[in-house]
């Protein structure tokens, strides 16, 4: 017999097997999920959830698909949290500190309460990457925020209304497009293909009878 | 984290580690591969397939569960829908908000078409966001699109449509550049050189990555760009039936709000199906690495209006799904783990296959180890083999795992397993739909005009088995391609009278073939509530 635990889904009590995640516990209880469920593997951020263990003063945040149920867990899903996303033209943007100030000025109101970091479902140092964003250090902001799944748990806890995932998104795109070193062999290859350097080779291969292609495949050499 | 019952096998694996690292296992010959697949790969289990009785692919076999969906009733009767007052009116309608749909929408919008995306979950909820290991492109000096073609053609059992595969490999470098220009952060050396690795069946190191969040990094960037371009996105709304015009061309879709069930009509000059895969169909009872909405909707929508399927009988079982613990059963363990040097090891501590055989071969080898050879590890929830992750730290140096595969490390860390120190248990998981709707080089279906398909819902690009890293490439190359061509065709299209006559026609076929079914399709979402477990 599986061991059962008591959980409270939106205030309603259910008994569920202890080895379930919050997400599968909801389904066990009979919920056919539409919102608050995406990749079910911790990558998409659809299932941000808040919970409190009975008697505990701490409100905790997690991804429902990645977190096991606990006894006396009070659970509420946070399937849609309104965060601020500014629209910009990546081709025309000026990759400087000014752009952060212009698009997300509220980051400069940060009171360093660290609620965002505590809330992060990925264990990121959110406050630190916001500090980097304030200074216009996009490279470090991108690096610190890289594993963000944009679930919005941080923003839900922020007293000054910062939309941390969007700040980080902007920093990463600026870093990827403007600050990371450009790739010479990629540029060269794109040009070679445009100039038709491989056209004849590919066509010749495509025209070959299947047996000949098989032979080429089975005897090809592997780069070490 | 591993209990007593695993210790015996674990000790053997640890003791053999040094020897196993040094071992260079041979790759199988063509004959060996063929025999292994025929005996152990799920695609070869005849009783798991059914012959279609109706539609353009009548007589072809597809997985049992897919046959049921393809031959099920429509969710609506034409009488319920008033086609004369479309709620949405657009040039290009993109169905699906994953990587292919987003890439298509961005290009259609750039081409000046009026475009909208409809998606049954949120923009970005897709298999793209879960793709970890990488994206292939032949952009290194030692590499060439010719080698890329050969690897993919052979890996797909020489069944790919050559013109589609040629487009995939020749447009590959341009796709990487396009993503890079949008701000996608690829792993690079300090001089800008791409850090690339091998994938199963690649002859050159052409796997580009963004740590092991490659798909997530691509998807969040595309999503950001879709929003920046102010492309309308209708979320939590599914397309449940395509609409044709009186000439038989695609002309829109009937949409259903996933929460209120309200129906609306979207009229469009061209339609792009970018609905993704089918892992949540759980073919043959397999767990899946796919996202919640992967239920083959696009195949159903297309099939009902007469679009042809190609290789719908070929599914990909990713060799390394998590087999333990139960909370992550079936979740993807990226192939990059093997690219970085981890080998597959059985319960006795033996390396039983080259770690970078193609996915179908590696999956079959694991199934053989766990079945007839009886060399699997009992996980308490089934069988598995070891993937010896600590090898990576020994080969690449301490810190390699954290730097190169942080998501994998994090996933197991949450389960109390430190993959830097302990190996993990894996077993094949349903991962990818190799086939799909048959398209031409422009991305249009071969027999329904103005109906385009991009991404996993399309068939023929990869043949009968896809290589790692060719799917992220496919969604970009063929997503963009479909967007550009759908926009161009839309410009020359004047719509005729809209009709849903095909529903009745299909219903008559069901009756004539004496198919007894109460099922309606598309499926839209799986049902995991308790009464359905």
Report pLDDT digits (tens) over B181-216: 999 999 999 999 999 999 999 999 999 999 999 999
Question: So what's the architecture of B4-40+317-430 in CATH?
Answer: Alpha-Beta Complex (3.90)
Q: Which fold has domain B74-314+434-499?
A: FAD/NAD(P)-binding domain (3.50.50)
- Distance between CA atoms of B309 and B323, rounded to whole angstroms? 32
- CA dihedral sign, ordered A38, B218, B135, A121: negative
* Cβ neighbours of residue B262 closer than 8 Å, sequence gap 6 or more: B256
- Distance between CA atoms of B492 and A101, rounded to whole angstroms? 45
Predicted confidence band at A1 (pLDDT cuts at 50, 70, 90)? low
pLDDT, tens digit (0-9, with 9 covering 90-100), for A169-200: 999 999 999 999 999 999 999 999 999 999 99
In this prediction, residues B370-377 reach a mean pLDDT of: 97
Q: B220 vs A150: CB contact, 8 Å cut-off?
A: yes
Residue B531 reports pLDDT greater than 70: no
- Distance between CA atoms of B125 and A44, rounded to whole angstroms? 7
Using a CB-CB distance cutoff of 8 angstroms, which residues of chain B are in contact with residue A183? 139, 180, 186, 188, 192-194
Among A39, A88, A145, A152, most B C-beta atoms within 10 A, so best to mutate, is A39
- Distance between CA atoms of B510 and B54, rounded to whole angstroms? 7
- CATH 3.50.50.60 residue ranges in chain B? 74-314+434-499
In this prediction, residues B167-187 reach a mean pLDDT of: 98
pLDDT, tens digit (0-9, with 9 covering 90-100), for B32-59: 999 999 999 999 999 999 999 999 999 9
Q: A41 vs B173: CB contact, 8 Å cut-off?
A: no
Residue A81: per-residue pLDDT: 86
Q: Which two tokens stand for residue A81?
A: 């949290």
Helix axes B172-182, A184-194, angle to 10 degrees: 130
Q: A40 vs B176: CB contact, 8 Å cut-off?
A: no
Count CB-CB contacts under 10 A for residue B232.
13
A156 neighbors A82 (Cβ within 8 angstroms): no
Residue B418 reports pLDDT greater than 50: yes
The alpha carbon of residue A210 is apart from the nearest alpha carbon of chain B, in Å, by 8
Among A14, A25, A44, most B C-beta atoms within 10 A, so best to mutate, is A44
Category of A72 on φ-ψ map: left (φ > 0), alpha (ψ -120 to 50) or beta: left
Using a CB-CB distance cutoff of 8 angstroms, which residues of chain A are in contact with residue B142? 223
Residue from the list A146, A190, A216 with its beta carbon closest to the beta carbon of B177: A190
Strands B344-345 vs B383-387: parallel, antiparallel or unpaired: antiparallel
In this prediction, residues B305-331 reach a mean pLDDT of: 95
pLDDT, tens digit (0-9, with 9 covering 90-100), for B68-117: 999 999 999 999 999 999 999 999 999 999 999 999 999 999 999 999 99
Q: What is the mean pLDDT of chain B?
A: 96
> A9: which strand partners?
A12, A75
User: What's the pTM value of the predicted model, to 2 decimals?
Assistant: 0.97
Note the ipTM here.
0.97
Chain B contacts in chain A segment 118-157 (CB below 8 A): 122-123, 142, 146-147, 149-150
* Cβ neighbours of residue B11 closer than 8 Å, sequence gap 6 or more: none
Chain B contacts in chain A segment 2-61 (CB below 8 A): 19-21, 24, 27-35, 37-44, 46
In this prediction, residues B156-172 reach a mean pLDDT of: 98
The alpha carbon of B297 is separated from its chain's Cα centroid by a whole number of angstroms, namely 13
- Percent pLDDT > 90 in chain B is 97
Q: A223 vs B205: CB contact, 8 Å cut-off?
A: yes
- CATH 3.90.700.10 residue ranges in chain B? 4-40+317-430
Q: Which two tokens stand for residue A108?
A: 């400069």
- Percent pLDDT > 70 in chain B is 99
Report CA-CA distances (Å) from B190 to A181, B153, B180, B193. Answer: 7, 34, 16, 7
The alpha carbon of residue B512 is apart from the nearest alpha carbon of chain A, in Å, by 35
Strands B436-438 vs B458-459: parallel, antiparallel or unpaired: parallel
Could you give the residue numbers annotated as active site of B?
Answer: 318, 338
Q: B182 vs A177: CB contact, 8 Å cut-off?
A: yes
In this prediction, residues B172-182 reach a mean pLDDT of: 98
Domains and CATH numbers, chain A: 4-77 (3.10.20.740), 97-179 (no CATH), 184-218 (no CATH)
Predicted confidence band at B326 (pLDDT cuts at 50, 70, 90)? confident
Q: A173 vs B221: CB contact, 8 Å cut-off?
A: yes
- Percent pLDDT > 70 in chain A is 100
Among B138, B139, B182, B197, most A C-beta atoms within 10 A, so best to mutate, is B139
3-state class (DSSP) for residue A76: strand
Q: If you count residue pairs, one on A and one on B, with CB atoms under 8 Å apart, how many are there?
A: 214
Residue B481: per-residue pLDDT: 98
Q: B227 vs A85: CB contact, 8 Å cut-off?
A: yes
3-state class (DSSP) for residue B518: coil
Using a CB-CB distance cutoff of 8 angstroms, which residues of chain B are in contact with residue A31? 529
Using a CB-CB distance cutoff of 8 angstroms, which residues of chain A are in contact with residue B190? 181
| Dihedral angle, C-alpha A162, A165, A171, A172, nearest 10 ° | 180
Residue B124 reports pLDDT greater than 70: yes
Q: B125 vs A186: CB contact, 8 Å cut-off?
A: no
Residue B532 reports pLDDT greater than 70: no
B500 neighbors B78 (Cβ within 8 angstroms): yes
Predicted confidence band at A2 (pLDDT cuts at 50, 70, 90)? confident
Residue A97 reports pLDDT greater than 90: no
Residue from the list B141, B203, B529 with its beta carbon closest to the beta carbon of A27: B529
């Amino acid at each position: 017999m599986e061991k059962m635990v008591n959980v409270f889904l939106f205030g309603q009590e259910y008994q569920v097997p202890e080895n379930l995640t919050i997400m599968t516990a909801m389904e066990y209880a009979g919920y056919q999920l539409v919102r608050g469920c995406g990749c079910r593997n911790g990558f998409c951020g659809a299932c941000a959830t808040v919970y409190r263990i009975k008697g505990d003063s701490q409100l905790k945040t997690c991804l429902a698909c990645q977190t096991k149920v606990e006894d006396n867990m009070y659970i509420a899903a946070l399937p849609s949290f309104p965060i601020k996303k500014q629209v910009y033209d990546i081709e025309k943007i000026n990759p400087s500190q000014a752009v952060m100030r212009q698009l997300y000025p509220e980051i400069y109101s940060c009171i360093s309460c660290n609620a965002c970091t505590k809330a992060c479902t990925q264990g990121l140092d959110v406050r630190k990457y916001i500090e980097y964003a304030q200074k216009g250090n996009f490279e470090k902001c991108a690096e610190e925020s890289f594993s963000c799944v944009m679930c919005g748990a941080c923003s839900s806890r922020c007293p000054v209304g910062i939309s941390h995932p969007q700040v980080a998104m902007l920093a990463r795109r600026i870093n990827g497009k403007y600050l990371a070193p450009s790739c010479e062999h990629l540029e060269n290859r794109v040009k070679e293909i445009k100039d038709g350097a491989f056209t004849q080779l590919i066509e010749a291969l495509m025209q070959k009878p299947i047996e000949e292609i098989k032979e080429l495949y089975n005897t090809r050499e592997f780069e070490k | 984290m591993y209990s007593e019952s695993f210790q015996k096998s674990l000790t053997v694996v640890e003791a053999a580690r040094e020897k196993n690292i040094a071992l260079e296992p041979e790759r199988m010959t063509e004959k060996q591969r063929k025999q292994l697949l025929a005996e152990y790969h799920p695609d070869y289990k005849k009783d798991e397939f059914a012959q279609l009785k109706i539609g353009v692919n009548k007589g072809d076999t597809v997985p049992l569960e897919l046959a049921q969906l393809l031959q099920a009733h429509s969710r609506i009767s034409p009488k319920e829908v008033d086609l004369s007052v479309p709620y949405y009116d657009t040039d290009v309608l993109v169905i699906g908000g994953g990587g292919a749909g987003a890439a298509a929408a961005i290009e259609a919008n750039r081409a000046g078409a009026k475009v909208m995306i409809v998606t049954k979950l949120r923009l970005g909820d897709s298999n793209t966001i879960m793709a970890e290991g990488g994206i292939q492109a032949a952009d290194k000096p030692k590499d060439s699109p010719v080698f890329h073609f050969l690897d993919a053609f052979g890996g797909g059992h020489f069944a790919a449509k050559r013109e589609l595969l040629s487009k995939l490999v020749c447009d590959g470098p341009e796709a990487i550049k396009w993503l890079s220009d949008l701000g996608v952060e690829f792993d690079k050396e300090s001089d800008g050189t791409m850090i690339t690795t091998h994938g199963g069946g690649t002859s050159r190191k052409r796997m580009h990555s963004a740590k092991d969040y490659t798909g997530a990094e691509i998807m969040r960037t595309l999503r950001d760009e879709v929003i920046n371009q102010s492309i309308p996105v209708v979320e939590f709304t599914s397309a449940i039936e395509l609409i044709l015009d009186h000439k038989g061309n695609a002309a829109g879709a009937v949409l259903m709000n996933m929460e209120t069930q309200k129906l609306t009509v979207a009229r469009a000059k061209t339609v792009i199906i970018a609905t993704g895969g089918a892992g949540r169909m759980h073919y043959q009872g397999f767990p899946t690495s796919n996202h919640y909405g992967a239920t083959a909707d696009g195949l159903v929508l297309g099939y009902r209006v007469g679009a042809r399927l190609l290789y719908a009988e070929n599914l990909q079982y990713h060799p390394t799904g998590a087999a333990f613990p139960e909370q992550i059963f079936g979740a993807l363990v990226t192939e990059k783990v093997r690219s970085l040097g981890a080998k597959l090891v059985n319960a006795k501590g033996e390396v039983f296959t080259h770690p970078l055989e193609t996915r179908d071969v590696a999956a079959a080898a694991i199934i053989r180890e766990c079945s007839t050879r009886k060399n699997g590890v009992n996980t308490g929830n089934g069988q598995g083999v070891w993937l010896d992750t600590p090898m990576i730290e020994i080969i690449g140096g301490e810190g390699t795992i954290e730097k190169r595969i942080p998501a994998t490390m994090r996933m197991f860390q949450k389960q109390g397993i430190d993959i830097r120190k302990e190996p993990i248990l894996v077993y094949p998981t349903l991962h990818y739909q190799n086939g799909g709707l048959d398209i031409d080089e422009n991305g249009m279906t071969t027999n329904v005009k103005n109906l385009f398909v991009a991404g996993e819902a399309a068939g023929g690009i990869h043949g009968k088995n896809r290589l790692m890293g060719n799917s992220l490439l496919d969604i970009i190359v063929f997503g963009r391609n479909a967007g550009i061509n759908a926009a161009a065709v839309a410009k020359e299209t004047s719509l005729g009278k809209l009709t849903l006559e095909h529903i009745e026609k299909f219903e008559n076929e069901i009756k004539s073939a004496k198919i007894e079914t109460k099922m309606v399709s598309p499926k839209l979402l799986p049902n995991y509530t308790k009464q359905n477990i």
